[in-house]
Chain A
Amino acid sequence: MNRSVRKFCGVIILAGVIASCGGSDSSPATEAPVTEAPATDAPATEGVLNVPADYPTIQGAVDAAVEGDLILIAPGTYSEAVQVTTNNIIIRGLDRNTVILDGNFELDNGIRVVGANGVALENMTAMNYTKNGFFWTGVTGYRGDYLTAWRNGDYGVYVFDSVGGVIDNSYGGGSPDAGVYVGECYPCDSLIRNFVSEHNGLGYSGTNAGGNLVITGSIFRNNRAGIVPNSGSYELCYPQRKTTIIGNLVYSNNQADTPAIDVAILAMGNGILSAGGVQNIIERNRVWDHNKTGIGLVPFLEDDPNDEMPEKSAWDMSCADSKKLTPVQPGGGILWDSQDNTVRNNVLEDNRRADIAVGSAGTDLWTLGNCFEGNTYTTSAPLNLEKLAPCGTPLSKDTGDWTAGDLQVITWLADQATAPPSVDWKTATLPEMPVFDSMPDAATAPGVVASATPPVVDLDAITVPDKIS
């Protein structure tokens, strides 16, 4: 639906005329004169629909909503799987902790935004869904704010094949895959901020995602593994590249009793682990208490791929363009090496295999372009890693002994055989669900549609966060 028609619908509602402007394909029902409606990026509360006062179900309100509408949900438990296909609506709970979408282990997604742009989900809890708590797919422009995703069967907060958004002040716990995930986008133009992710298989997973993708100010703890950007040809837009992981607390990701997909079991005991990711910036994080590495850059062996690996010269290609290419069966496994990542100014301690590490499955480490500088740390694999692989100059095999203290990441594959197995997400023991800060002024704040431009973060101003008690 084009922009001018959208504005026109807004005007009709302001005029109090009932118009059939639902959905993204309708046209105005009247011929009232047009005046300029507010632009999409400005606050634009066209109408407010109350659940259950005006509509007994959230889905009922969503179906009735037109672009710009704000849906306010009163405290209560809603056993719904809500589908959203209308652009530019805001769905907000009046209280984060007591507006609960409960899937009862039967329903698939708490709220699924299917190809609808500009949809904001705010201030509520989704639990016990067989797939995801909150899910956007195929959208431009999204926002999740003050969301709690608890005990859902795939991901807590799941963003797939979408660009332009922010997940802020939110929580994901008890999922076998990741508490929060952004996948299949380049450039993603997305921000994950103030997120707490715990007791999941992975704290964060981002398959083939990056490009102006910032993860900051967040906590990843007590998962099997913390932050795991990764590449693979089972989904599009590989390799994973250009994610900025900055100013996070990442600790104690050794949890043996979480639900866990296989990759989480393989990655267990690592804080920040790039599995075949490239050109990421991992900076000013505080990372501690991991059985394996604090920050590790390792390869991902894809033994039955769907396509060949793109050449380095193609790492600039947008996701949209790469989707147009025809996959070519490589006829054998492919090895995604982590390459050209920068690990800088992090503070690490008590990561028992190595605080900082880089490993390969045979490729010479000095050819991979990963650099380490300014980190506060004690152990590395290989030894003397910052001397071997400083930033700012091309790597050389002559900077020292690259084999001493090798990470031997290949042995991790064998570890899987004895690794603690997954735990059923439906029955996993989770800590008592925290009571979270609710959104301020939820009842009165105007609804703001989700912008496709995420908030700008002053990266230079970020400092290494302190441990929290």
Chain B
Amino acid sequence: MARRTRAFFFVGLLSFVVACANDDDGAAGHDHSKMPVDAAAVMGQPDRPIAGPQGGVGQFVVECPFSHALSDDPIVYPGDEDASHLHTFFGNVAADADAQLQDLLEQPTTCEQQLDTASYWAPALLDEGELITPEKSVAYYRAGLGVDPTTVVAFPAGLMMIAGDPMATIPQPVSVVAWSCGAGGLREELPPVCPPTRGLRLDVTFPDCWDGKNLDVAGHRKHMHYSSSGKCPSSHPVSVPQLIFAVTYPVTGDASQLQLASGSLMTGHADFINAWDQEKLQQEVELCIHRNIVCGVTSGRSSG
């Protein structure tokens, strides 16, 4: 046990060195030893990128405009204001470093589904250090690929999840973190050149298997896992909805010179605290996911 801990520390230290070499403007102080290096080794990844036309599998969808930007991270640096890189928050307007579940419940939300008082956040997209205010976000909730939808249960209240690797130094698998243009079909490792009618979008796919016990763990990963071949591993036996969180920016054309507050454009990630009105979340899971009904689609007709 001790030997393994030393190995993790050593690897963490290594990534600290590597990441600092790549440190960009906007990336505020990181305690890198808190971040696992190889998220895929811990959590797996989806069998393939999830894209394609909507309307084929049961889902519910929530559109949440941008709420606020803070250098807070309620999951990684709870209670510690200004401790993280800049994040853009969507949904719950009260999300900040101090927010616990009870501080979030029944607060106002930017989400058009007023009972979705969850908090969603992603690293700020920056243009030479300046915040690019996101246009909107969309949260898609579906069963994982090939997962029997009748086995899916709602996230427990207060569940905390991170998806994607804020310290990636090579492109992440597009099945976990991808860039697209609006709600279109591309899934790229780096931002594509988007046409005038479709803004750049960051798509982050969350794990859909829960260990059934922990709302969060040290490192914020190991309580979750991605399903594979439609099954959750025995270590994480509980099927929860697969959340895909997508943030659209008013960015078209060449975006290669932009940065994320977490570092390069390869460091895409997103965070989620389940502070939904839990009864409404359960209802949506039962009506839409279990019964495999499309309860809503995000309009591909709007730009972004």
- By a beta-carbon cutoff of 8 Å, the part of chain A in contact with chain B is 83, 85, 106-108, 112, 114-115, 130-131, 137-138, 153, 160-161, 177, 184, 232-238, 261-263, 303-307, 323, 327, 329
Most buried by B among A233, A235, A304: A304
Complex interface bits, B288-304 against A, C-beta within 8 A gives 1, otherwise 0: 10011111110111110
A137 & B185 in contact (Cβ 8 Å cutoff) = no
Distance between Cα atoms of A184 and B57 in the complex (Å): 13
Q: A161-B55, A234-B53 are in contact. Are A305 and B112 (CB under 8 A)?
A: no
| Set of chain A residues within 8 Å of B292, measured between Cβ atoms | 115, 138
Q: Please state if B184 and A306 are interface contacts (CB–CB under 8 Å).
A: yes
B186 to chain A, nearest CB (A): 6
Chain B residues within 8 Å of A131, by CB:
112, 296
B24-59 with Cβ < 8 A to chain A = 51-56
Among B55, B194, B302, B303, the residue within 8 A (CB) of A236 is B55
Contact segment of B67-75, B93-101, B175-183, B227-235: B175-183
Q: How far is the CA of A115 from the CA of B186 in the complex (A)?
A: 31
The docked-state distance in angstroms from the alpha carbon of A304 to that of B292 is 26
Interface presence of B219 (CB below 8 A): no
In the complex, residue of chain A having the shortest beta-carbon distance to the beta carbon of B57: A323
B185 touches A114 (CB 8 A): no
B301: chain A residues within 8 A (beta carbon): 232, 234, 261-263
Across-interface contacts of B303 in A (CB, < 8 A): 262
Q: With A235-B55, A262-B303 given, is the CB distance from A130 to B114 under 8 Å?
A: yes
Which residues from chain B sit less than 8 Å from chain A, CB to CB? 51-56, 112-114, 180-186, 194-195, 197-198, 283, 287-288, 291-297, 299-303
Whether A304 contacts B293 by the Cβ 8 Å rule is no
Q: Chain A nearest CB: distance from B63 CB in Å?
A: 10
Tell whether, in the assembled complex, residue B294 and residue A304 are in contact, meaning their CB atoms are under 8 Å apart.
no
In the assembled complex, which residues on chain A have CB atoms less than 8 Å from the CB atom of B56?
236, 323
List of A residues within 8 angstroms of B302 by Cβ: 261-263
B300's nearest neighbour on chain A, judged by CB, is A234
CB distance from B155 to the nearest CB of A (A): 19
Q: Report, nearest first, the 10 A-B pairs whose CB atoms are least far apart.
A: A304-B184, A234-B300, A306-B185, A138-B293, A263-B301, A235-B55, A236-B55, A115-B293, A106-B114, A327-B52
Known contacts A108-B114, A235-B300; 14 further A-B pairs (Cβ under 8 A) = A106-B114, A108-B113, A114-B295, A115-B292, A115-B293, A130-B113, A130-B114, A131-B112, A177-B299, A184-B55, A234-B183, A234-B297, A234-B299, A329-B51
Q: Is the CB of A137 within 8 A of B293?
A: yes
A112 and B295 contact, Cβ closer than 8 Å, known pairs A130-B112, A234-B300, A306-B184: yes
